């Protein structure tokens, strides 16, 4: 079969943090037959070492491209993940309500960048690994937010208003961490090259005590598989 005779492959932009959820989302998008264009962000986060994990995940899982966009959400502070004066609490130490690790408007900004790149690529599909089951109470990880952003995307873009509708996929939304890990392992995800920690050190070792580490560890327990994470302790 000549190159000209091959059926075109749909493109998708996949938001990739280097974490467990986004790696699984990339694997799911690829399994659905998409050519994946991965987008990560250097946004002033406490540990930019996560970007090294994102690069490894993109390379290992066969992304067509991987780009890192530079944006300075951290200039505003307001989150323990962007403001060094706000400590990241251990698991169970956060007060009720939205935790201090919530980064104001982060997913709205990330999806907006993904939407812009999708238009340039001619991609109609954007994948994001948000989750409403094992999550930390972030308002921009809820199905209502994803549905609202998809509506916005189709009102605000040339592709949307000319009938080439944009779809926002959140395939992990209703899954627990154990289910996510089970699906990822079936698709060949190596979770040893992912990281979830809010207090990652400069060498890429996880603290083992923050909310993200505890949820991750519980996920491996629930999936009945060994946790490959490298912890500080």
Q: Is residue 203 part of a domain?
A: yes
* Chain centre to alpha carbon of residue 104: 16
Q: Is residue 1 part of a domain?
A: no
DSSP classification of residue 231: B
Number of domains in the chain: 1
**pLDDT number for residue 201:** 84
Could you tell me if 42 and 50 are in contact, meaning their C-beta atoms sit under 8 angstroms apart? no
Q: Is residue 215 part of a domain?
A: yes
Q: By CB neighbour count within 10 A (0-12 exposed, 13-18 middle, 19+ buried), where does 126 fall?
A: buried
Q: Is residue 232 part of a domain?
A: no
Q: By CB neighbour count within 10 A (0-12 exposed, 13-18 middle, 19+ buried), where does 47 fall?
A: middle
90, two tokens = 């251990």
Helices 20-31 and 177-186 cross at an angle (nearest 10°) of 50
**pLDDT number for residue 132:** 85
Instruction: Assign 3-class secondary structure to 143-212.
Output: HHHHHHHHHHHHHHCHHHHCCCCCEEECCCCCCCHHHHHHHHHHCCCCHHHCCCCCCCCCCCCECCCCHH
Question: Which residues pair with residue 27 across a beta bridge?
Answer: none
* Distance in angstroms (rounded) separating the CA atoms of residues 6 and 4: 6
Could you tell me if 204 and 228 are in contact, meaning their C-beta atoms sit under 8 angstroms apart? no
**pLDDT number for residue 49:** 84
For 206, phi then psi, to 5°, come to -90, 150
**pLDDT number for residue 2:** 42
Supply the CATH number for residue 55's domain. Answer: 3.40.50.620
Range of the domain at 54: 9-223
**pLDDT number for residue 202:** 78
Q: Which residues, 6 or more positions from 174, have their beta carbon under 8 angstroms from its beta carbon?
A: 132, 133
Q: H helices within 32-122, ranges in order?
A: 50-60, 106-121
Q: Is residue 139 part of a domain?
A: yes
- Residues in the chain where the model's pLDDT stays below 50: 1-6
């Amino acid at each position: 079969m000549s190159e000209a005779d091959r059926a075109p492959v749909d493109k998708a932009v996949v938001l990739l943090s280097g974490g467990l959820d986004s790696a699984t989302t990339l694997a799911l998008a690829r399994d659905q037959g998409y050519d994946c264009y991965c987008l990560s962000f250097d946004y002033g986060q406490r540990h930019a070492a996560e970007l090294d994990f994102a690069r490894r995940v993109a390379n290992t899982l066969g992304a067509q491209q991987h780009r890192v966009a530079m944006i300075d959400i951290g200039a505003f502070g307001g989150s323990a993940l962007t403001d060094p004066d706000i400590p990241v609490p251990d698991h169970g130490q956060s007060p009720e309500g939205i935790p201090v690790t919530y980064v104001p408007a982060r997913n709205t900004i990330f999806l907006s960048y993904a939407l812009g790149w999708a238009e340039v690529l001619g991609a109609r599909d954007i994948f994001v690994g948000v989750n409403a089951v094992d999550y930390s109470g972030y308002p921009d990880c809820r199905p209502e937010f994803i549905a609202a952003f998809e509506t916005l995307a189709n009102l605000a873009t040339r592709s949307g208003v000319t009938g080439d509708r944009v779809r926002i996929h959140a395939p992990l939304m209703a899954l627990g961490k154990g289910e996510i890990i089970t699906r990822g392992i079936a698709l060949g995800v190596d979770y040893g090259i992912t990281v979830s920690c809010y207090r990652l050190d400069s060498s890429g070792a996880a603290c083992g005590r923050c909310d993200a580490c505890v949820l991750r560890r519980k996920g491996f327990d629930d999936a009945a598989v060994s946790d490959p994470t490298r912890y500080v302790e």
